[in-house]
Amino acid sequence: MHDPQHDAPLGAYTKMTRQKPELVCPAGSLPALKAAVDNGADTVYMGLKDATNARNFAGLNFDQNSAREGIRYAHERKRQVLMAINTYAQAGSEAHWHKAVDMAADLGVNAVIMADVGLLDYTAKTHPQLRRHLSVQASATNYEAINLYRDLFGISRAVLPRVLTLPQVEHVIANTDVEIEVFGFGSLCVMVEGRCLLSSYATGESPNTAGVCSPAKAVRWVETPKGTQARLSGILIDQYAPDESAGYPTLCKGRFNVGKETYYALEEPTSLNVIDALPDLLRIGVSAIKVEGRQRSPAYVAEVTKVLRAAIDSALADPAHFSSKPAWNAALGKVSEGQHVTLGAYLRPWK
């Protein structure tokens, strides 16, 4: 069947219909980018090896040469590439963020993902042809905010934070012509995205600036007679028995003594998984479904992309009779945080 999307020039943005949302997958490295493309991603998102990227981890991300190669690989296969320039420019260093935008335009990415209003303004004025997506880091949770970003900076898409119910997402979509992207799989954040005061207090660094809730230099694993302690800047986050799987120590997902109990006081280590809600997401008209995990391995990217591609295609083919296959959930469960999944805020049966 002829697909007009495949006739678009490289660097142009080819919009899916509202009935067929894009599957947007993470690319923390060139192998991960290729894994996403090869397993069915419509779109990949990447970042540079610097502070302009909120997933600024050692050994990950792209320099100019690898970015150019990744974009070539994706575009030759008629897939789209987004560049995350999603941190907030630091005072006196704005030129560094401007240079990243200029590089993204020169490389021919299909869109940039941003939160900083000054950077959005720079991009709109300097590269008006470069499509702009509002990052989840901007924490725009209502259509009024999204429409304001549209009117001021010409955004074409907004990524919603993971705190809205499905009816709330539907209300946003019904009241804006900006495309709406939602998270479909990956780690959850119960704080204001990228600006967690708990992590900042413990480590002295903003997650948005450092690119991670728990910087590696602040993490310590301490062996004790009772098991392994996970500490962040010396703060005890969790303790694991010898036969218990240990998760990466983030403050919100630690176990704490509250009253006379020790339990997950803020959030359990679980991953978001929206497969069961796919018919509803299609019905309300989401434009894109995003997988979290640029810090994860190419194997993770391949597995999650493959499963979500199959699930989305199945839901599109017959939404009225769609049901999640056990094999899908089993595969995703193996790569889920804490090996548990949830619909998160999308489903609040008590509400």
- pLDDT tens readout for residues 174-198: 999 999 999 999 877 766 666 678 8
Sorted by where each begins, the domain ranges of the chain are 4-188+270-346, 197-264
Give CA–CA dist 81/47, Å, rounded. 10
DSSP line for 12-57: S--PPPTTS-EEEEE-SSHHHHHHHHHTT-SEEEE-BSSTTSTT--
User: Could you tell me the two tokens for 227?
Assistant: 């098991």
Give CA–CA dist 236/258, Å, rounded. 14
- pLDDT tens readout for residues 70-88: 999 999 999 999 999 999 9
Strand partners for 187: 271
CATH superfamily for domain 4-188+270-346: Copper homeostasis (CutC) domain (3.20.20.380)
- pLDDT tens readout for residues 15-72: 554 468 999 999 999 999 999 999 999 999 999 999 899 888 778 999 999 999 999 9
| Mean pLDDT of all residues in 132-137 | 95
Number of residues in the chain: 351
- pLDDT tens readout for residues 237-285: 888 888 887 777 788 788 888 888 888 877 776 678 899 999 999 999 9
Give CA–CA dist 96/104, Å, rounded. 13
- pLDDT value of residue 15: 59
**Stretch (H or E) spanning 82:** strand 80-84
Please tell me whether the overall predicted TM-score, pTM, comes out greater than 0.75 for this model: yes
